[in-house]
Amino acid sequence: MKTRAKLQKMKESNDKITMITAYDYPSAKLSEESGVDTILVGDSVANVVLGYDSTIPVTLDDMIHHGKAVKRGAGDTFTVVDMPFMSYHISREDTMKNAKRLFQETGAQALKLEGAGEVLESIRLLTQAGIPVVGHLGLTPQTVNVIGGYRIQGKNKKDAEELIENAKRVEESGAMALVLECVPEPLANLITETVSIPTIGIGAGKHCDGQVLVYHDILKYGVDRLPKFVKPYGNVNDLIHSSIEQYVNEVKEDIFPSKEYAYDMDEEEIPSLYG
Ligand code: KIV
Ligand code: NA
């Protein structure tokens, strides 16, 4: 099992950290078997599994349900679970209750929270209570309606400086790692050099300490359009389409099930319909 200390060491020795999202038992099991360092139960479950068009509708119970399934398949892979929309903003008490449930019931190794500002207090509270926290800056999908869409963040000097300051604050609040989503490569590089905790990039270029991508995106599985920063390493869509089309055709054409897929019985045991 990777630990916070081991992930920190990886940054220091320039050993890249790999992370992939997973949402259920098979995606976690296949990711674990394939040798990823860390798994993220992302609230992107909203988009790629549940069919919503943003992460906003996802509930704490949804994240617990998917987190538990992932942990059953993840073996001893370090697993991070996203705290969903508004589950760490209402009050200290509400934040702590939600974090306690998500951490205890899923058995995750860490929780991920988007943003800085008021959220820094939540990062501090959770860390002090014994829950490791991963921060998330840049494009933060839970605030898509405030930041004005799914677009690259920190492109001008003022925004870039603010992002660097927020990254420092996230670290100071106790976060163990920081996801950087959709920020220009040179800015992600600066942040990676500025903070001492590992940065894990998605659409943030090659200088981060690690990379994360969405399972369904890497595999082209149930998704049609991919963002610029995703490299598709497989094409599960084609595999599933051709497999299901062939199944449908073979049933229609009386090809399936052939003898090898059917159970037989002794001739004399077959009852006669006509007595
Ligand atoms: O939910 C998610 O998949 C994420 C990653 C994009 C980092 O938060
Ligand atoms: Na997320």
Domain annotation for the chain: domains and CATH numbers: 4-235 (3.20.20.60), 239-269 (no CATH)
ipTM of the complex: 0.99
Give the C-alpha separation, 272 to 223, whole Å. Answer: 52
What's the 9 CA to ligand 1 centre distance in angstroms?
23
Q: Quote the mean pLDDT of the chain.
A: 97
Tokens standing for 205?
């270029």
Decide if 269 is catalytic.
no
Q: What is the mean pLDDT of residues 244-265?
A: 98
Q: What is the mean pLDDT of residues 82-95?
A: 98
pLDDT at 226: 96
The structure's pTM equals 0.97
Q: pLDDT confidence of 228, banded at 50, 70, 90?
A: very high
Q: pLDDT confidence of 1, banded at 50, 70, 90?
A: confident
Q: Residue 77 above 90 pLDDT?
A: yes
pLDDT at 182: 98
Q: pLDDT confidence of 275, banded at 50, 70, 90?
A: low
Q: Give yes or no for residue 214 CB within 6 A of ligand 1.
A: yes
The alpha carbon of residue 48 and the mean position of all alpha carbons in its chain are separated, in whole angstroms, by 10
pLDDT at 274: 85
The predicted-structure confidence for 165-174, as pLDDT tens digits, reads as follows 999 999 999 9
Nearest residue CA, atom 5 of ligand 1? 42
The predicted-structure confidence for 134-166, as pLDDT tens digits, reads as follows 999 999 999 999 998 999 999 999 999 999 999
Q: Residue 55 above 80 pLDDT?
A: yes
Q: Which helix (H) or strand (E) holds 82?
A: strand 78-82
* The residue type at 123: I
Give the C-alpha separation, 220 to 235, whole Å. Answer: 5
Which atom, in ligand 1's list, is nearest to the CA of 45? 1
The predicted-structure confidence for 191-206, as pLDDT tens digits, reads as follows 999 999 999 999 999 9
